[in-house]
Structure 1
């Protein structure tokens, strides 16, 4: 089991595979310069020109992007693309 120290926003906590000692996952928004907590996961289907936005995913897909509430609300996609939002989201 690999252990490492993480330092985010002045808080240090031990984590094992991305899970902190207290059991909470450290998930931050993927947008550059944003340090807000992620609330949704965005994935793309380039072949069908579709973006899917849903609850936080498992965190193992390198092509999935976690977004905070602000960036979820401001999401825009290229012209002609469709955005699929999970129906339980109220953002």
Structure 2
């Protein structure tokens, strides 16, 4: 493991994205891995990023990094 680990319990994969929640707007935001670990964000591996689900009525915003 070279980077930060996935936040999911028992997952040993490297994180590739960061998930944050906006409870007031019923929104989850998934974007590229943040530069540093944040206490109120969740770092997710590719598998858990793809499997992300949110409560009914919430929306998911997926940001992608452009370029290489």
TM-score under structure 1 length normalisation: 0.66
Distance 2:44 2:37 in 1: 15
Kindly report the root-mean-square deviation, in angstroms, between the aligned alpha carbons of the 2 structures: 1.8
Residues 57-91 of structure 1: per-residue CA shift (max 9 Å, x gap): 132420110000000000000000010000448xx
- Measure the CA separation in 1 of the matches of 2:14 and 2:62: 19
More helix by share: 2
Q: Which runs of 4+ in 1 moved over 3 A?
A: none
Higher relative contact order (CA 8 A, sep 6+): 2
Q: Which runs of 5 or more structure 1 residues have no equivalent in the other structure?
A: 1-7, 9-24
Shift in Å, 1:50: 0.4
The count of residues paired between Structure 1 and Structure 2 equals: 66
5+ residue gaps, structure 2, are none
More strand by share: 1
TM-score calculated relative to the size of structure 2: 0.87
User: Higher mean Cα deviation, 28-37 or 60-69?
Assistant: 60-69
